[in-house]
Amino acid sequence: MKRKAYQIVFSATLVVVMVAFLSTIFFANANPSFAAEGKKKSSAVARPTAVVHTEAQIKQLQDSLKITEAQKELWDNLTQVMRENAKDMDVLTDTLAKERAESTKSMNAVEHMKLHSRITTAHSEQLEKFIPPFEAFYDSMSDEQKKTTDTIFQTGTYGKSKAKRK
């Protein structure tokens, strides 16, 4: 019973964390503020692409999890999906930015909702692609790796304690 409840909580936590991660990337370029003043953002402030961010996450996870040779194929499958999702996010972000730049008027409330709907749909589709290889990889983990992974997804600290981050 405890294990089943844990699996449900972990799955829900995973979905929330991934949606938050994906939302951060998309919303950073989508200007989700309904009360935006119409000021253009400075192009001098460069945001990392989803691909760059994902590569950094893959490296941090790999360093934290101490992946074994037996897990390498599952890990490679997972990182392939992560990279494909990141490339898709960058394409969507670029497409949305071009659409907004080509628009001669500000987006109204309905257009904002449609934009958010497209982003949310993309997030959902990417999570559907991500979960199966992640679950297979997670199932192959040792108890120590699972504990580290759970900490990463719950806190985003990649195995470091909060005391060390201060």
Amino acid at 87: K
Q: Is residue 39 part of a domain?
A: no
Q: Which residues of the chain have pLDDT under 50?
A: 28-44, 159-166
19: containing domain: 2-31+47-156
Indicate whether 57 belongs to any domain: yes
**Secondary structure, 3-state, 16-80:** HHHHHHHHHHHHHHHCCCCCCCCCCCCCCCCCCCHHHHHHHHHHHHHHHHCCCHHHHHHHHHHHH
Collapsed DSSP state (helix, strand, coil) of residue 51: helix
Instruction: Check residue 136 and give its pLDDT.
Output: 97
The per-residue pLDDT for 164 is: 44
Q: What is the pLDDT of residues 66-76, one digit of tens each?
A: 999 999 999 99
Query: Is 60 part of any domain?
Result: yes
Amino acid at 149: T
Q: Is 102 among the domain residues?
A: yes
Is position 163 within any domain?
Answer: no
In a domain? residue 37 = no
**Using one digit for the tens of pLDDT, what is the confidence trace for 105-116?**
777 888 889 888
Instruction: Domain count for the chain, please give it.
Output: 1
Question: Is residue 115, in this structure, part of any structural domain at all?
Answer: yes
Domain membership of residue 164 (yes or no) is no
Is residue 48 classed as helix, strand or coil in its secondary structure? coil
> How many angstroms separate the CA atoms of 50 and 91, rounded?
10
